[in-house]
Amino acid sequence: MAAVSVDAPDEKIIDAELVEDDLLPSRAAPASRPLVDLHTVLRPGQPIPTTADRGPVYAERDIRLSDATARALEEAEEDSGTRKDAVRRFERWCAERERVAHPCTTATFTEYGRHLMDQGLKVSTIKNYMSLIRTHQPVGKQPDNSLYLQLLRKYRAKSKRASRKKQAFPITLPYLIPMMAKAEKDGRPIGIRDAAMLAFGYRFLARSSEQVDLDIEDLTILDDRIVVWLAKDKTHQDEDQTIILHDREDLQLVARMRRWLAHLATHQITTGPLFRHLHPGGRPATGFRTDIATKRGDYLRAQTVNDRVKLWFRAAGLVTDGRPVSSQGLRAGGATDLAEAEATDEEIQDAGRWKKGSPIPRAVYVRPAQAARKDPFSKVPIHGSPSGELVPDQSEQQATG
């Protein structure tokens, strides 16, 4: 068995064959030298570490991962679609300019940041892409991002439009109800699924990624509410939650969810993905579907929820005020309805599972709702006829007189 000795993090690990001491040639012991870098911290009286302070001797088994652990790490490190897209674009840009992409230099990283700014992208998009590219670099070899951030600050100051975030159109109840009715109109299984998905997304104030990861076992459906066990969400990565969704007469969440689960039960499906793919005839998909080529198997993708929201919004003949329609609109719609009903910041924060103290509920939902209720011009007396008829312009009266 080979053994390796580690003297310090910065020194190379040497793999050497173990031999008997008396076979080694005699030589003077090398003088020890200090092992100090910019991170070294010594307390009073603590000696300076040297190469003579040898660490433990490790065998190969101490540094070798098992096949099972290696596979688990590969699955945990799977790139998201956004990450893959960002990294692929960066690699293509580097190849066109004959630059090294992995690990890239700070100069290359900075140049690519300016390249994205030259395209006029939003500041939030640039920051997201650059963060994904930087974290994709080998551990310990990430480029310095200070120069790129310096350029980004100047870019933000020069282009306020680039910093503007366009919020999703809020799908409030006046929009949601006709969307669900349209989905259920002909009684097709996909419409039943989508109506339940729309109602659940609105009442749960769901992020699509959280909604599509739920299993049937995570829900307990009672006559007037649904109890949801959520393993994690964006702001609670290490904390599971139990959330109670009270039903409403207009939403009919319980009835819609029971109808969808009854359809699954007719196909002997009572466990596994809550919202899953359907075959054209309405039969739920079971097992890995090769025709959709997704590693999520029977679980819907978040993008599928997004597509179905857009479809039913159009099908119901609805129009927006210019803001984009997306699945995020279900979350925004629930929060907007709460704000317009004068719910507090804390109530909206808890309902949407935002991080404690998050400014989003107040800035995005509460303040706009308060502003919409206020009209300082309501204090100004109405000018003209009490009946509300327009007063003719004097020049028009003279022209017609």
At the top level of CATH, the class of 173-370 is mainly alpha
Note whether 296 and 304 are within 8 A (CB).
Answer: no
- According to DSSP, residue 57 is labeled E
Reply yes or no: is the peptide bond before residue 44 cis, omega within 30 of 0. Answer: no
Parallel/antiparallel/unpaired status of strands 3-5 and 57-59: antiparallel
HSE value, Cβ hemisphere, 13 Å, CA-based, for 350: 8
Note whether 126 and 117 are within 8 A (CB).
Answer: yes
Residues in the chain: 401
Per-residue pLDDT of the chain (401 residues), as tens digits, is 444 444 444 444 444 444 444 444 455 556 678 888 888 888 898 888 887 776 677 788 888 889 889 888 776 665 555 678 889 999 999 999 999 999 999 999 999 999 999 988 888 889 999 999 999 899 889 999 999 999 999 998 887 665 566 678 899 999 999 999 999 998 899 999 999 999 999 999 888 888 898 999 999 999 999 999 988 766 666 677 888 999 999 999 999 999 999 999 999 999 999 999 888 888 888 764 444 444 577 888 888 999 999 999 999 999 998 888 999 899 989 999 998 888 888 888 888 888 788 888 777 777 777 777 888 888 888 887 555 555 555 544 544 44
HSE value, Cβ hemisphere, 13 Å, CA-based, for 88: 7
Q: CA-CA distance, 191 to 184, in Å (whole number)?
A: 5
| Structure tokens that stand for 10 in this block | 């910065």
Q: CA-CA distance, 286 to 283, in Å (whole number)?
A: 9
Q: Where are the domains of the chain?
A: 1-19+56-66, 79-163, 173-370
Model pTM score: 0.59
Q: Where are the alpha helices (DSSP H) in 14-164?
A: 67-76, 81-96, 106-118, 123-136, 146-158, 160-163
CATH superfamily of 79-163: Tyrosine recombinase, N-terminal domain (1.10.150.130)
